[in-house]
Structure 1
Amino acid sequence: MQVRLDGHSLTIPELEAIASRAIEITVDPAALALVDERHAGLREARARGAVYGANTGVGANRHEQAGDPDGHALRLLQSHCAGAGPEEDDRTARAVMAVRLNQILAGGSGVSRRVAEALAAALRAGAVPALHRWGAIGTADLSPLAELTLTLAGARPWRSGDAPAVELDATDALPMISSSALTVATSALAVSEVHRHLRASTIIAALSFLALRGNPEAYDPAVHAARAHPHQIAVAETLHTLVTGASPALRLQDPFGLRVVPQVTAPALHAAENLTAAVTAEINAAVENPLVTADGIHHHGQFHTATLASGLDAVRGALLPVMSLSAARLSLLMRPDMTGLRPFLADGPPGSSGLMITEYLVQDLLAEMRGTVQPTASGTLSISLGLEEHASFATQGARSLRTMTQLTPTLLAAELVAAVRALSLAPERLTTGTLRTAYDLATASLSPDLTDRPLDGDLTHAAALLPRLATLL
């Protein structure tokens, strides 16, 4: 399978596939021709007068004419290569390369064709650069992209794999690093996980509903038609369909963990949908400063990622309540008055602890998540001699969302293990259809031993099931 990069149509699922080496890339010849045209335009403008970063300093040095113009590009890259913090994993690094290549193909950077072709060749060869995480604030990932560019030029080694070095043009340096490709790639991979986790969480919530013999009135379409928030009707209809045929309800009204799943899941889906649109726009955007168009050179602030930052903040804020609701259902599954089973779903001698410890685990995870929800777009700064007095901090928002998506699988796994255990102890509560399929998938991976024993294996296997559960919706 192949995906053609043209600067305009790359999707997040395609980017994921490239990052995972599940798909090969080709490059649209028309896009490469546009790269050639815009590179020539940048060189012509540089020959005529001052062009930011091409023959001037950058930041507060913008009015200084570059000394030694031929060596200016290399000095700019070296001076912006801080190389601090942990290295990004291979999947993220490949996603960065693909994002940056696709943005270049959008035709606004002025980067030379040979750099674009070198990026494509490195992706095909499986070469991975060492990209350090720290040094960006949501106005371009200058330091890691300087690392990438120096690696392409042969000035730094590839972390794994190899690719031929490319000779940089004197105008290639700033256009190559004038992008938030690492922030965008991190956001893209994270929001994909969010979508999967939300679908899986809906399946798991429905399994808990069966185990707790919930009241399906809360999911009745007539209820949700009365207040049509985005996605709420769809979530309610999904749950209503999933639990059709469930055991008779035990309660007139259920606790919130069951009753408000549509109301809590809907805003997370809405936020994830909006973030997906924002990330997709960034993947296919020409945002370099200066921007090279058919009309000439434009100096601007298009590199500011305010829309991305606000979208990241919104998703984190909306995802946390979904996870806290999962924790609430886990607590319900521990209670004999709610399940009709033994405390903590124990199945051993009196005094057995069962799944007691899982509540501690999920509360630890929730506490960690709360630290990631602080809005990053509220930050302020003044740098570069006061010239740059605002930033989006989308970079920090993307990292925080990634952290949330790394914690989420274990939290949802705890609820899944508990719901499946309750249903195995009371199999008459199971229904046919999708939830039976989900239950069978889980029981095939989890140990049938319900006596007190280490639970780490079950939690690991349950977390690994989430992508498969997500495909059931």
Structure 2
Amino acid sequence: MACILLQNAEQLQVNLIRSHSSGIGDYLSTKHVRMLMALRINILAKGFSGISAESLETVVNAFNKSCLPLVPEQGTVGASGDLAPLSHIMLGLLGEGKMWSPSTGLDDAKVVLERHGLKPLTLKPKEGLALINGTQMITALGAEAVERAKYLALQADLIAALTVEVLKGNVAQFDPDIHAARPHPGQIEVASRMRSLLNSDVFESKCYASCKNDRKVQDPYTLRCIPQVHGIVVDTINFTKNVITTEMNSATDNPMVLKDRHVLISGGNFHGEYPAKVLDYLAIGVHELANISERRIERLVNCAYSEGLPSFLVQEGGINSGFMIAHCTAAALTSENKVLCHPSSSDTISTSGGTEDHVSMGGWSARKALKVINNVENILAIELLAGCQALEFFHANGYTTTEPLEAIYKVVRKYIKPWQKDRYMSPDIEIAASLIQSNKIWNTARPFIMKYYQAKNMLPSLSSFPSPGFKILNTEEYGNQV
């Protein structure tokens, strides 16, 4: 009887993984599958999951050799964690389904494992559930969203500063005493970054000096309120980062093996509500960078607002359309984001026969946060192009801006020429977006900002002055090989 029960327990583990591998849709990228596996290994290694060292080593070996199963992105409700995505990973490690590696390409999982000298997983009691019960898809995609958002917010400040300059905005509105009177950390941080880029006794601007008699007493909100609007985005990102970091390093299994007490207790650490909620919040926050950027683009291209710049930032407007439709693209993406920002975690559907009667919908929270960030990157790319184009008209009159803004202009012009007459614009937007995604704009301005802070005896926090940038491993996408 004991042997029969043991056999049934082992078969149950395999059945769990096979039946739970029910995801559909596009496949996650190889980098995302690696991120899921890395996080799952980290959780399993904590010792709360009830998995053998041998099985954990099998997962680690597959990860180290980049043997990556195909994982559909749809199918998780973030209830008992990301059951479907994690099941697809473990299905591959059982030697079933499809798998990809850099040396084999896409093939049957059993074949890929054999070519790397790896044996398929052999599951013991409890191990099937231990391998698939956690929030690692939500958290992995969320971690990427946080990192991209952090550098996106930094570069949004730099791009906005260029727009302030070419629209003859005031520097006084970024005065430190104004922002100290309302001491939100993000607001103070953004205001100081704006001061470091615009006209000052550290970096003088001939553009600013040439327009001193043309300035309004009060700028429009899209210029004047940059610290307030961008600032809450910074604070949102920092808040989200704290939650996601905690989630990345938490045991999210069920039941939990409390080895020191020699007990097995069922709990709810698998529930995805924490990452789901903050990733919805992150999407709403980062989208505001797009909302205000699109309005600044409107001011740049509309001669009724652009302080002497030509309509749509191009000469011979009757023949050339210039940035007219680029602004339409920014408006379209901004509108799309407004739909994507509806919080998926506000929904719940009872599943699993009424046992999982409250779910987080966190998988969609994470996926759409990345979609929002991608749209914001493209919107800011359009503002960057428009700001550089507007600067051309100052250059034509012999006026230059500050050193950091001129350096940003030169980086853009290294890859994208000025707009003298209409041409195919999509490639320019794509290149500008890639400059933002690769953090070239931040890396260019960072030394100048540090010089300003040093001149002012300021000590920036690490969060407000991060390293020159990060790089997410860009392996070949197996989804393109299916």
Cα distance in 1, alignment partners of residues 137 and 322 from structure 2: 43
- The answer (yes or no) to whether the contact 1:208–1:419 under 8 Å persists in 2 is yes
Name the Cα RMSD after superposition.
1.9
Unaligned residue ranges in structure 1 (runs of 5+) = 1-46, 48-54, 56-64
Kindly indicate whether residue 242 of structure 2 is the aligned counterpart of residue 277 of structure 1.
Answer: yes
Letter in 1 for 2:83: L
- The answer (yes or no) to whether the contact 1:66–1:72 under 8 Å persists in 2 is no
Which residues of 2 match residues 422-437 of structure 1 at below 5 A?
Answer: 422-427=390-395, 428-437=398-407
Of 180, 194, 201, 2:135 maps to 180
Kindly indicate whether residue 400 of structure 2 is the aligned counterpart of residue 460 of structure 1.
Answer: no
Kindly indicate whether residue 313 of structure 2 is the aligned counterpart of residue 345 of structure 1.
Answer: yes
Q: Which residue of 2 aligns with 1:78?
A: 18
Of 191, 195, 206, 1:240 maps to 195
Which residues of 2 match residues 8-407 of structure 1 at below 5 A?
Answer: 68-139=8-79, 140-161=81-102, 162-163=112-113, 164=118, 165-244=120-199, 245-246=204-205, 247=208, 248-249=211-212, 250-293=215-258, 294-295=260-261, 296-337=263-304, 338-348=306-316, 350-407=318-375
Cα distance in 1, alignment partners of residues 348 and 276 from structure 2: 13
- The answer (yes or no) to whether the contact 2:159–2:387 under 8 Å persists in 1 is yes
- Please report how far the alpha carbon of residue 429 of structure 1 lies from its aligned counterpart in structure 2 after TM superposition: 4.8
- Please report how far the alpha carbon of residue 306 of structure 1 lies from its aligned counterpart in structure 2 after TM superposition: 2.0
| Runs of 4+ residues over 6 Å off in structure 1 | none
Q: Which residue of 1 aligns with 2:106?
A: none
SS in 1 for 2:101: coil
Residues 122 and 282 (structure 1 numbering): CA distance in 2 closer, same or farther, change over 3 Å?
Answer: same
Unaligned residue ranges in structure 2 (runs of 5+) = 103-111, 447-482
TM-score (normalised: structure 2):
0.82
TM-score (normalised: structure 1):
0.83
- Please report how far the alpha carbon of residue 349 of structure 1 lies from its aligned counterpart in structure 2 after TM superposition: 6.2
The percentage of counterpart residues that share the same residue type is 29
Q: Which residue of 1 aligns with 2:380?
A: 412
Cα distance in 2, alignment partners of residues 128 and 321 from structure 1: 36
- The answer (yes or no) to whether the contact 1:102–1:284 under 8 Å persists in 2 is yes
Cα distance in 1, alignment partners of residues 11 and 405 from structure 2: 64
SS in 2 for 1:300: coil
- The answer (yes or no) to whether the contact 1:213–1:429 under 8 Å persists in 2 is no
Cα distance in 2, alignment partners of residues 186 and 454 from structure 1: 33
- Please report how far the alpha carbon of residue 430 of structure 1 lies from its aligned counterpart in structure 2 after TM superposition: 3.4
- The answer (yes or no) to whether the contact 2:252–2:269 under 8 Å persists in 1 is yes
SS in 2 for 1:457: helix
- Please report how far the alpha carbon of residue 115 of structure 1 lies from its aligned counterpart in structure 2 after TM superposition: 2.5
Cα distance in 1, alignment partners of residues 222 and 91 from structure 2: 52
Cα distance in 2, alignment partners of residues 176 and 375 from structure 1: 29
- The answer (yes or no) to whether the contact 1:287–1:303 under 8 Å persists in 2 is yes
- The answer (yes or no) to whether the contact 2:389–2:419 under 8 Å persists in 1 is no
- Please report how far the alpha carbon of residue 444 of structure 1 lies from its aligned counterpart in structure 2 after TM superposition: 0.7
- The answer (yes or no) to whether the contact 2:287–2:373 under 8 Å persists in 1 is no
Letter in 1 for 2:98: P
Letter in 2 for 1:454: Y
Cα distance in 2, alignment partners of residues 364 and 453 from structure 1: 21
Kindly indicate whether residue 411 of structure 2 is the aligned counterpart of residue 441 of structure 1.
Answer: yes
SS in 1 for 2:245: helix
Residues 399 and 369 (structure 1 numbering): CA distance in 2 closer, same or farther, change over 3 Å?
Answer: same
SS in 2 for 1:159: strand
Q: Which residue of 1 aligns with 2:442?
A: 470
